Chains A and B, each alone.
Chain A
Amino acid sequence: MKRYSLPDLENIATHIRQDIITMLVRAGSGHSAGPLGMADVFTALYFSVLKYDPRRPLWPDRDRLVLSCGHIAPVLYATLAHAGFYAKKELRTLRQLGSPLQGHPHVGELPGVENSGGPLGQGLSQAVGMALAGVMDKKSYQVYCVMSDGEHQEGQTWEAILFAGKHKLAQLTALVDRNNIQIDGFVEDVMPLEPLRKKYEAFNWHVLEVDGHNIQQVIEACQTARAITEKPVVILCHTVPGRGVDFMEYKFEWHGKPPSKREATVALEEIRRVRTLDGKIVSEHE
């Protein structure tokens, strides 16, 4: 697989953010904050961490990425297109009748999509199942599960955390989008999760924490996770919802709506400025 430099990766993340905005404004519905917030994590995963071949999406030895919080589908779709699973022009069909880019992902419709998801809390169990199958078949693939922080309010999530801890499923790496927003407000107001690190540790997981906008940190954490063979690992990715678009950042109101055409123009300009190095994301990587 091609090795990308850090500036290359940052550039890819910027393109993914632009695509997210373009897709959402065209679709006229969908989620903005989560996809923008996770663009750097997805870039790290698909352009440095995951082992896959876009020409053979069902290659049995590939690493799997299970998206549990299906509502951030735009970041998955845009990333998969950039990774070469399908043409970027497909992105224009998001949420339209007959499109394989369903509002929430549907496995089998699009190459690279590993699971159906939307109703929260269902992804980690499926990732556990994939990891178990890998253990049974003596495969060396790794299963990554991207989860939202809000979906830790679902009981099933904890059932799966309990199970993976018992089985010491080191083939499983969870990445939590710790952006502290959900539909009705801030996660810590709606139903607090803290101390989240201690909760995972109590369930026999190894916990890493990263700045979810520091691509280098995300990559290094995934490498550490892969090197840990006695426990499942969760990477708490501290992210800013709506990252890259000033008027969306930190605002739970942007969880579930798309930008208008006018807002999109402003958003694209802000994202572009970030890329041209006069924005605010860059300094963290220097």
Chain B
Amino acid sequence: MYLATNIFSKKISLVPPRNGYGSGLVCAGKVSPNVVVLCADLSESTRSQAFQKTFPSRFIEVGVAEQNMAGIAAGLALSGKIPFISSYAVFSPGRNWDQIRVSICYSNTNVKIGGAHAGISVGPDGATHQALEDIALMRVLPNMTVLCPADALETEKAVIAASKMNGPVYIRFGREPVPVITTSHSPFRIGKAQIVKQGTDVTVVACGSMVYEALIAARALSPKLSVEVVNNHTVKPLDIGTLSRSVSKTRALVTAEEHQKAGGMGSAVLEALGAKLAVPAEQVGVNDTFGESGKPPELMKKYGLSSDDIVRAIMKVGKRKR
């Protein structure tokens, strides 16, 4: 129901998730004339250019000024618009956190934040441009919804869904082409986690590009271990029901994300389930360090974000379970 049938085929199409941001903006713009898009000198890279071409009068170039962009968006939203602000995640929400906190979240304005080039897979640009803290920064803010879609198609759906809900939303997505594992028919609902592979021994809760890695890990361990994989695209509000039902069944939990372990999606899941479930748990994520320049697959491997790392984490919790 959720996944394409050919996800393990070599022929699976690889698409940058940011493309889904661009196409999602155009779709949202067609649905509502109130959707406007702002960009801080990165319209090509964030793919917000697609919207600019379709709706030039509703596109606002703010220059290299992310704080101003967040504030202008708040003012537009207070006047009935549905603004999407677009930049790299290290700059927005990295640079403009106070503006997002007060002008957007405290005011509960209807502003959507597109954080492009998130994660270590940005690659050769190096640590300055690899957002590994953005989920933590955003999920700690009251009124904020945090989305981390798994592929380009899901990013498009996340953008459209964000445009239809009222209130601040952060959407995080990467630069590198990743396998399109969902289909245009896969359902997407904000706040509803998806069990994309059923299993009985260990639950892997993943988001973003790590959903695919989790599926690879699950396949590698089959049939020795039956791994359940959850696409947890909504980091906030968490779908505690789906997550706790899965973990109550498997009694072992692994979380996986392209983000610092501290404060990220896994951290959110452990906070939410910790009080309810005493089960062995492991986090796959970046271990309190900055990244560096390199090719995306090299970095994913070096910083512990590959399917092999997920396999190791599954084995660890599997052992502790017994």
Contact = CB atoms under 8 A, between A and B. Distances in A.
Interface of A: 60, 66, 106-108, 114-119, 121-134, 136-137, 155-156, 159-160, 162-163
B272 interface: no
Interface string B291-318: 0000000000000000000000000000
Contacts of B108: 108
Contact of A133 (B71, B75, B98, B107): B75
B81 interface: yes
A163 B62 contact: yes
Contacts of A126: 71-72, 74-75, 78, 103
B63 interface: yes
Contacts of A162: 63, 65
Nearest to A125: B71
Given A114-B78, A122-B103, 17 more contacts: A106-B106, A115-B103, A116-B106, A122-B71, A125-B74, A125-B75, A125-B103, A126-B75, A129-B71, A129-B79, A133-B81, A155-B67, A156-B68, A159-B65, A160-B71, A162-B63, A163-B62
B102 A116 contact: yes
Nearest to B64: A159
User: In terms of DSSP, what is the predominant structure of the interface of chain A?
Assistant: helix
B80 interface: yes
A116 B105 CA distance: 10
5 contacts: A115-B78, A115-B103, A124-B71, A125-B70, A130-B75
B79 A130 contact: yes
Contact of A156 (B67, B78, B80, B83): B67
A20 B4 CA distance: 65
Contacts of B106: 106, 116
Residue with the greatest number of chain B CB neighbours at <10 A, chosen from A108, A114, A126, A160: A126
B233 to A, nearest CB: 29
B222 interface: no
B202 interface: no
B39 interface: no
A132 B37 CA distance: 13
B107 A119 contact: no
A125 B69 CA distance: 8
B74 A163 contact: no
Given A116-B106, A132-B60, A136-B58, A163 B68 contact: yes
Contacts of A155: 67
B74 A129 contact: yes
Contacts of A125: 67-68, 70-72, 74-75, 99, 103
A157 to B, nearest CB: 9
Contacts of A108: 107-108
Nearest to A127: B75
Residue with the greatest number of chain A CB neighbours at <10 A, chosen from B62, B72, B103: B72
Given A107-B78, A136-B57, A116 B107 contact: yes
Contacts, number: 103
A74 B113 CA distance: 33
Contacts of A127: 75
Contacts of A119: 98, 102
A122 B97 CA distance: 12
B73 interface: yes
B68 A160 contact: yes
Nearest to B105: A116
Contacts of B102: 116-119, 122
A127 B73 CA distance: 10
A145 B67 CA distance: 17
B253 interface: no
A237 B77 CA distance: 29
A160 B80 CA distance: 20
Interface string B79-103: 1110100000000000000110011
Contacts of B76: 129-130, 132-133
Nearest to B74: A126
Contacts of B72: 125-126, 128-129, 132, 160, 163
A167 B132 CA distance: 35
Nearest to B73: A129
Contact of B75 (A106, A132, A137): A132
B207 interface: no
Pairs A-B, 3 closest by C-beta atoms = A129-B75, A125-B71, A133-B79
A137 B57 CA distance: 11
A122 B98 CA distance: 9
Contacts of A117: 102
A66 B60 CA distance: 21
Contacts of A107: 78, 107
A230 B67 CA distance: 26
A134 B62 CA distance: 17
A37 B175 CA distance: 51
A45 to B, nearest CB: 18
A117 B109 CA distance: 13
A118 B98 CA distance: 11
Contacts of A130: 75-76, 78-79
Nearest to A102: B106
B36 interface: yes
A163 B103 CA distance: 18
Contacts of B79: 129-130, 133-134, 137
